[in-house]
Amino acid sequence: MPDSLRDRNRERRAQERFLFAPSGGGDVSVCLVYPNTYPVGMANLGFQSVFEILSRHPRVRCERAFLPDADQRGSEVVSFESGKRLRDFEIVAFSISFETDYLHVVDILAGAGVLPLREERRGGGPLLLCGGPATFLNPEPIADFFDAFFVGEGEEMIPELLAQFVAARDAGMGRDGVLDAIAEVGGAYRPDRYTVAYAADGTIASVAYRGPGSGVVTRRLVADLDRFTTASKVLAPEAVFGDMYLVEASRGCEWGCRFCAAGYMYRPIRHRSVGALAAAIDEGLAHRSTIGLVGAEMASVPGVASLCERVAAAGGRASPSSLKADVLTQRLARALGRSANQSVTVAPEAGSERLRRVINKNLTEPEILRAADWLVGAGVRAMKLYFMIGLPTEAPEDVEAIVELSRKIGERFRREGRVQQIKLSVNPFGPKPWTPFQWEPMEDLRALKVKIGGLRRAVGRLRGVDIDVESPREAYWATVLSRGDRRVSRLLLAIHAAGGDWWSVLRAWEREPPEGGVDPRLFSHRAYAADEILPWDVLDHHLHKRFLWVERERARAERQTMPCDVTTCRVCGAC
């Protein structure tokens, strides 16, 4: 490893501040890997929480590893703490939050001298385990790389996994025996026990399972979030949001937006109590002046206004993630203004009310403008607005409505005599597993580029409005990774062999897929059939497939569905 990489890791370790006490080491060596760079990985609360669970275990000696920085690519991938080779650990565990990091899995394994394909390792080297939100939705694109996945929330699952591993290891079981033992943990998925066959049209013809039980993998869920504190565990100044202390306020979302995976994969919605959040905030204020409140949607979290007032009263700044305009209160707006919030994020997602009905946003234009009035009037200096483009049934007037809504919000700034600061973040729609839109196709790239070009020109005529649009190519790539099956693993290997040039490889496979490969558009620009076997059907998220299909049909009829009522409703199957 070059000295510069050693020096960089040493400097980063020196800047870190641990807010928990590790066990001091044990006899089970585990390397926890985040398949992106250190600043990205150390901004991830899930990664930090898993690191704490592993590090506190008396039998575990846990280290971390990350994708080397751009200027260090080509260096051997080793552990962050000691520079140990990854292949010398007993367990190498990946935590993956985003599908676009699947390619980095191959980069890291290859850089660590570990053969990526499970069948080529022939039982040697460390156990390769994997978890994280991306794999909760669909682990199949990387199923050929890992020995086992653990599907669901880890606070209860990881200790069970470690108990099974230690017992089997201490009993002298070999690698297969240890794998059999950890596969007994609820939420465990052994991909080697499943054989997938494909039809002539490229779709899945059958999935055969050999092993104990039914082969259906049940996602794990923590019922009472107050039992665990999910907040910053290691303060790392170089991390994204490194100036913040992050606190998870909730998991899931009751609103049921039909494109949003988080609103379905984490059902039912669970909030932490005001008391638990207040305690976490007080702890955070001892370390950082900015408290980042994390969750799918923050305005509907019980007591959020009082929590933001608590931060402001202590001289800090509350920074909640996206706020739903119709549940934002004037009290919350004032609390955010009082804490000198530089920018607040609101997600209309669509410009027109018709399209918001299609996606089940349950949000009207007057409610959005009222929220803007309150935020600007309270002293908030800027707004970030999230929109999607290419949504199912979208028409030209729906795109034009994005511009008109942005113009009307800008009027609120001018009315208060402030400099207008509005940032539009626009992302092409890509269908996600476990949502009502999982069967929908992504729009053709050429059509998207035309829409985006027109949107950029129209927004450019608005004073004080900036726009940032995700590349349609990148959205296409993310959709392939999101909805793909096991054949995507070969695509990932081909891209790694091409030096990461995923666009050239995608185009080549579109023209002529190699033997065992598939045209990637099969996963992106194709509508899936209602009765089709989906790659992720092996998982059970406690959501009825029929419920998701009915929600898709309601979208086509422009009919909204009421938000979740976890006390009485049992329609979707999550409760």
CB 460 within 8 A of CB 406: no
Per the DSSP assignment, residues forming a β-bridge with 423 are 384, 466
Which one, of 273, 361, 556, lies nearest residue 439 by Cα? 556
Q: Is the dihedral of CA 543, 547, 553, 559 positive or negative?
A: negative
**Residue ranges of the chain with pLDDT lower than 50?**
1-2
Which CATH code is given to the segment(s) 243-483+543-556?
3.80.30.20
Amino acid, res. 265: M
pLDDT tens per residue, range 409-467: 998 888 877 766 899 999 999 999 999 999 999 999 999 999 999 999 999 999 889 99
pLDDT score recorded for residue 1: 45
CA distance 134 to 294: 18
Per the DSSP assignment, residues forming a β-bridge with 93 are 32, 129
pLDDT tens per residue, range 148-158: 999 999 999 99
CA distance 392 to 412: 31
CA distance 137 to 271: 22
Domain edges within the chain: 3-218, 243-483+543-556
Burial-class residue 285 by CB neighbours within 10 Å (0-12, 13-18, 19+).
Answer: middle
Residues 6+ apart with CB under 8 A from 444: 525
Q: How far is CA 382 from CA 343, 412, 551, in A?
A: 4, 11, 35
Q: Residue written as tokens 């039909």?
A: 258
How many other C-beta atoms are found inside a 10 Å radius of the C-beta of residue 172? 7
CB 261 within 8 A of CB 214: no
Tokens (6 digits) for 144: 């050929």
Residues 6+ apart with CB under 8 A from 450: none
CB 414 within 8 A of CB 376: no
ω into 348 cis (within 30 of 0): no
CB 117 within 8 A of CB 106: no
Tokens (6 digits) for 339: 């804490």
Burial-class residue 11 by CB neighbours within 10 Å (0-12, 13-18, 19+).
Answer: exposed
pLDDT tens per residue, range 118-142: 999 987 889 999 999 999 999 999 9
Which one, of 374, 133, 99, lies nearest residue 252 by Cα? 133
CA distance 347 to 325: 8
Tokens (6 digits) for 134: 């991306």
CA distance 344 to 10: 36
Q: What is the CA radius of gyration of the chain?
A: 24
CB 29 within 8 A of CB 22: no
State which H helix or E strand residue 539 sits in: strand 539-540
